[in-house]
Amino acid sequence: MIQLYNVCKAYQKDSSALADISLKIPKGDFLYITGASGAGKSTLLKLLYAAEKPSRGQILINGQNVTRMGAGRIPYLRRQLGVVFQDFKLIPTRTIFENVAFPLEVQGRRRFEVSKKVYQTLKQVGLEHKLHRRPLELSGGEQQRAAIARALVVDPLVLLADEPTGNLDPEITLEIMELFKGANARGTTVLLATHDREMIRRFPRRVIVLEGGRLVDDRTP
Amino acid sequence: MLERSLYLVRRALRNIRQSPVLCGAAIGTVAVTLTILAFFGIVVLNVQKLTSQWSREVQVVAYLDQVPTPAVLESWEKTIANLPQVATVEFVSRTTALERFRQRLGADASLLAGVEPDTLPASLEIGLQPEARNRAGVESVVRQLREGLGLGDLRYGQDWLDRFEAFLDLLRTGFLVLGGFLLFATLFIVANTIKLTLYARKDELEVMTLVGGTPWFIKAPFLLEGAIQGLCGGGLAILGAALIFHGFLQHGLSTLLLAAGIDGISFLQPLQQGLLVGLGVLLGVCGSLLSLRRLVRI
């Protein structure tokens, strides 16, 4: 599903955020990307959703070479991905329904189809009773569930999550992890960047460890 | 396609509804700047009207030493009228010339008592086409009259024509520089106001790119919003200009220009009003486009 070959990323000449990363992630895998702050976790995810271009190396997602992809094709790649952020990135002026509907509207889906799918997804994350609320009227955990619903509403091939529980209490973290596990069980490949060792211990899956931009460990329990 | 277009329109209208203050600021900026431009336009329009009336004075007078026979006169008139630069040819007999002079003297006409019509020469007054009312046009006609008909005593107010052309050049340059500066300033102000409104929606733009929005899908509602703001701003500018015009500009210009010979002060014509609103729409769209170019990066 995802292949990286000797990927490097340098923001400045003399320091590299990622160095010589080679990795294969099969379809339906659940993978933790871990490491200290500044290890390169977020950079790796940004390369995967094409917010950044690698300085060297090749990245393939579902057979498409992201590195050689023109700007015109990037939106179509992103429609196959779901991305979840630590700060949720919900639009505060829009209702939860409108926020979750966004990726489907971007794809030009019909209104009836959008309404049905958004309602189903919000029900899946337990927010069907709050669909007309605005993000700031919800708790942090609820906002993250809404962000996950927005990522899942398009039935993505790959779900990328950058510290999705970083701002949340441990109990809420459990709820969020259940949502990721559910998506993975339905066939979505999940890549989750975190430095929360407790979470990795409680939900053991394949882990890759980054240190100073290098891949230092790749283990499967 | 229709559903997609309707969706984009709905989003543009929803953007406006959700940020009435920002949208009002953009409309207000377009309205104020275009009102200034309209004010400037009205002044230019009326001064142009004045200069065009002045230019009617540009004519060539051929004084005739001897009054030719009616047949020769008719042939001259025909030849002159056929010149492409010529609009009218009028024969002024000696008697008519004396009569005109008498009228011009008004109360002092008694001074002409005893003066015979033979005193003043007969002439041909040659009016020119509007595009020939300049030094080059006049000189071309004079040359043809001299060479073709052998007319020697030709007057066309050389000094006045030079001063008139210099005045027109100054006006044109002044209007171009000032008008260009005003347009640039308008675009700059409008683009910056719209940029502020877009900065307030930076998160929304970022999310749209992350969920796979194509650049045009993201930009279209904002461009439409810019066009709507420009349309409203342009409409308000017409209203503002009309208020200023009827409030004091008409009176002020009348005092200044009627004395100089203009027969009436006019407001912007419907076509010019349409152009002003169109300019508002263009400014709104260009302002949005300039700001979006920096903010929407895939």
CB contact under 8 A, B214 and A75: yes
Chain A residues with CB inside 8 Å of B204's CB?
Answer: 91, 93-94
Q: pLDDT band for position A71 (50/70/90)? A: confident
* DSSP-assigned letters across all residues of chain B: -HHHHHHHHHHHHHHHHH-HHHHHHHHHHHHHHHHHHHHHHHHHHHHHHHHHHHHTT-EEEEEESSPPPHHHHHHHHHHHHTSTTEEEEEEE-HHHHHHHHHHHHGGGGGGGTT--GGGSPEEEEEEE-GGG-SHHHHHHHHHHIIIII---EEE--HHHHHHHHHHHHHHHHHHHHHHHHHHHHHHHHHHHHHHHHHHTTHHHHHHHHHTT--HHHHHHHHHHHHHHHHHHHHHHHHHHHHHHIIIIIHHHHIIIIITTT-S------HHHHHHHHHHHHHHHHHHHHHHHHHH---
In 3D space, the residue among A217, A206, A195 whose CA is nearest the CA of residue A36 turns out to be: A195
pLDDT confidence of residue B76: 85
pLDDT confidence of residue B36: 87
pLDDT confidence of residue B20: 85
Nearest CA in chain B to A73: B214
Q: pLDDT band for position B259 (50/70/90)? A: low
Whether A63 has its CB under 8 Å from any CB of chain B: the answer is no
Mean pLDDT of B194-208: 82
Share of residues in chain A with pLDDT > 90 (%): 60
| Mean pLDDT lowest among A94-98, A173-177, B158-162, B205-209 | B158-162
* Among candidates B7, B18, B211 on the partner chain, residue whose Cβ is nearest the Cβ of A93: B18
| Mean pLDDT lowest among A88-92, A148-152, B12-16 | B12-16
Report the distance separating Cα A216 and Cα A209, nearest Å: 6
CB contact under 8 A, B203 and A105: no
Q: pLDDT band for position A166 (50/70/90)? A: confident
Higher model confidence: residue A168 or residue B283?
Answer: B283
Kindly provide the b/e burial profile for residues A207-220, where b requires at least 16 CB atoms within 10 angstroms of the residue's own CB: bbbbeebebeeeee
Whether A74 has its CB under 8 Å from any CB of chain B: the answer is yes
Mean pLDDT of B85-90: 87
Share of residues in chain B with pLDDT > 70 (%): 97
pLDDT confidence of residue A121: 93
pLDDT confidence of residue B298: 60
Higher model confidence: residue A118 or residue B2?
Answer: A118
Token output for A211: 């240190």
Residue B246 in this model has a pLDDT that exceeds 70: yes
Token output for B125: 């007054």
Average pLDDT across chain A, whole number: 91
pLDDT confidence of residue B263: 67
pLDDT confidence of residue A56: 92
A199, burial (CB in 10 Å: exposed 0-12, middle 13-18, buried 19+): buried
* Among candidates A51, A79, A90 on the partner chain, residue whose Cβ is nearest the Cβ of B212: A79
A201 CA: distance to closest CA in chain B (Å) = 31
Residue A8 in this model has a pLDDT that exceeds 80: yes
Substitution target in A89, A95, A96 with the highest count of B β-carbons within 10 Å is A89
Mean pLDDT of A90-98: 91
A99 CA: distance to closest CA in chain B (Å) = 9
Q: pLDDT band for position B171 (50/70/90)? A: confident
pLDDT confidence of residue A74: 92
Length of chain B: 298
Could you read off the pLDDT of B38-83 as tens digits, one per residue?
Answer: 888 888 888 777 777 777 777 888 888 888 888 888 888 888 888 8
* Among candidates B3, B7, B203 on the partner chain, residue whose Cβ is nearest the Cβ of A89: B203
Residue B113 in this model has a pLDDT that exceeds 80: no
Q: How many CB pairs under 8 A join A and B?
A: 55
| Mean pLDDT lowest among A43-47, A165-169, B51-55, B177-181 | B51-55
Q: pLDDT band for position B251 (50/70/90)? A: confident
Whether A213 has its CB under 8 Å from any CB of chain B: the answer is no
Mean pLDDT of B213-237: 90
Share of residues in chain B with pLDDT > 90 (%): 10
- State the distance between the two ends of chain B, measured CA to CA, in whole angstroms: 23
Higher model confidence: residue A153 or residue A170?
Answer: A153
Chain B residues with CB inside 8 Å of A105's CB?
Answer: 7
Higher model confidence: residue B115 or residue B88?
Answer: B88
pLDDT confidence of residue B258: 64
Report the complex ipTM: 0.86
Helix (H) or strand (E) holding A42: helix A41-48
Average pLDDT across chain B, whole number: 83
Length of chain A: 221
